[in-house]
Amino acid sequence: MRPPVTSLVTGAAGFVGSHLCERLLREGHQVIGLDVFADYYPRTIKEANLAALRGVPGFRFVEGDLTRLDLAPLVGEADHIFHQAGQPGVRPSWGKDFDVYLDCNVRATQRLLETARTVGRVQRLVYASSSSVYGETRDLPLCEDSPTRPYSPYGVTKLAAEHLCSLYHANYGVPTVSLRYFTVYGPRQRPDMGFYKFIRAALEDRPIVVYGDGEQTRDFTFVEDAVEANWLAVAAPAAGQVLNIGGGSRVSVNQVLATLEEVLGRPIRREHQPPQAGDVSHTWADTRRAKEVLGFAPKVALREGLAREVAWLKETLER
């Protein structure tokens, strides 16, 4: 009888990471969840993300810092590594906090890759990259060969870590795959992210802050679709590749708010403020390569995904 597959998930207490751990357990994997509980947002939120995982057979949680922890014992157990950990946020990445982004996004990734190179039996290392690597561009839709010109320090660190994955694959054969997420949303979304702030403000009858005129567009990706891409990346012949993971449609902020009004059944008040440094005007993913290589196709449409996030946040706030 073959032993169960073991997956190491960094950032396991986070938004995407906690959903991914649940999916891997359903697929029969043994899961080691690693998280440092960084103070970017409250620990209580991350503990709530872990609530459905605690005590589940096959799940083990380790609290630790990727930049300090001896990674060899954990990597030595892992057949697959899903590197979801990192310091998020475009707007806070300027100024004195840039050191945190260097440590959490670049140095942590290098340590994980170096350990995977020298220890264990890793069959796939999936890195959570970001559409922020493209920066401000009119080259739409964005394909993986589009120029990468990050528009924020955050984007610079995500691209640097992505390059490290490619280098470790090219030089040492570490079987990396980098997934460029396009604006992931859904239940457990971080409280600093747009949809969370929009929905909470609307539920509390406060005006929603819109930066700029609201005509900036994004390719919004439901969290289950992002998790599915990670799952598909394990078995596909994709080592060394970089792939766009998007939701399949380009939608303006104003269109999002109109859809949210339909879901809530009432109008939403808006408060416009100047655009923020580092925020790009448009993103839109060309996902043809992900479809060819992984068989990936997004399944959750924006209205359905928004309704599911609204239901989750209502329940969360009531608790």
Separation of alpha carbons 312 and 164, rounded Å: 36
What's the angle, vertex CA 151, arms to CA 145 and CA 153, rounded to 5? 110
User: What stretches of 6-69 show up as alpha helix (H) in DSSP?
Assistant: 15-26, 43-50
Q: Which residues of 151-188 are buried (b: 16+ CB within 10 A; e: fewer)?
A: bbbbbbbbbbbbbbbbebbeeeebbbbbbbbbbbbbbb
In which residue are the tokens 């103070």 written?
39
Crossing angle for the helix pair 223-235 and 15-26, to the nearest 10 degrees: 50
Specify the DSSP class assigned to residue 276: P
Catalytic residues: 154
**107-125 exposure pattern, b = at least 16 Cβ within 10 A, e = fewer:** bbbbbbbbbbeebbebebb
DSSP 120-167: S--SEEEEEEEGGGTBS----SB-TTS--B-SSHHHHHHHHHHHHHHH
The amino acid at residue 272 is H
Q: CA-CA distance, 213 to 199, in Å (whole number)?
A: 19
Cα–Cα dist 27/79, whole Å: 14
